[in-house]
């Protein structure tokens, strides 16, 4: 009998430089589109490049944990250390821009997420 995958943390499966990767979702800080490729930014500054569209990556990630703050970035809320007027700051120090149109909703989603997390702990 094969072991169950139910207790394993979620992973994002991508192909990067002709290699299949399984990246633990908890290690992903944010994903950006740059030069028609997606770059997955992880712990310790590690980056993985893939040709997979951002929308497809978003569909593979746990809903509610990641937020699309503009058309080129997807951010893991677990790695957001602060919310500024026009950017999300990750715990790795990266500044991810928030589109003008998305600012009210991004702020609301972040506040709800942080309050929910605070209630659990």
Dump pLDDT digits (tens) for 74-107: 999 999 999 999 999 999 999 999 999 999 999 9
Give the CATH H-level superfamily of domain 11-120: LytTr DNA-binding domain (2.40.50.1020)
- pLDDT value, residue 11: 95
- pLDDT value, residue 89: 98
Closest CA to 12 of 45, 52, 46: 52
Dump pLDDT digits (tens) for 28-56: 999 999 999 999 999 999 999 999 999 99
> What ranges do the domains of the chain cover?
11-120
| CA-CA-CA-CA torsion sign (108, 113, 116, 118) | negative
- pLDDT value, residue 9: 75
């Amino acid at each position: 009998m094969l072991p169950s995958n139910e207790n394993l943390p979620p992973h994002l499966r991508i192909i990067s430089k002709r290699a299949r990767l399984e990246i633990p979702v908890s290690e992903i800080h944010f994903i950006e589109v740059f030069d028609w490729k997606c770059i997955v930014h992880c712990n310790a500054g590690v980056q993985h490049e893939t040709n997979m569209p951002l929308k497809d990556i978003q569909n593979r990630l746990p809903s509610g944990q990641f937020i699309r703050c503009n058309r080129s970035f997807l951010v893991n809320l677990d790695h957001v250390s602060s919310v500024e007027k026009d950017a999300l700051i990750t715990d790795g120090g990266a500044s991810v821009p928030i589109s003008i149109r998305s600012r009210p909703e991004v702020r609301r989603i972040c506040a709800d997420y942080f309050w929910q997390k605070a209630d659990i702990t």
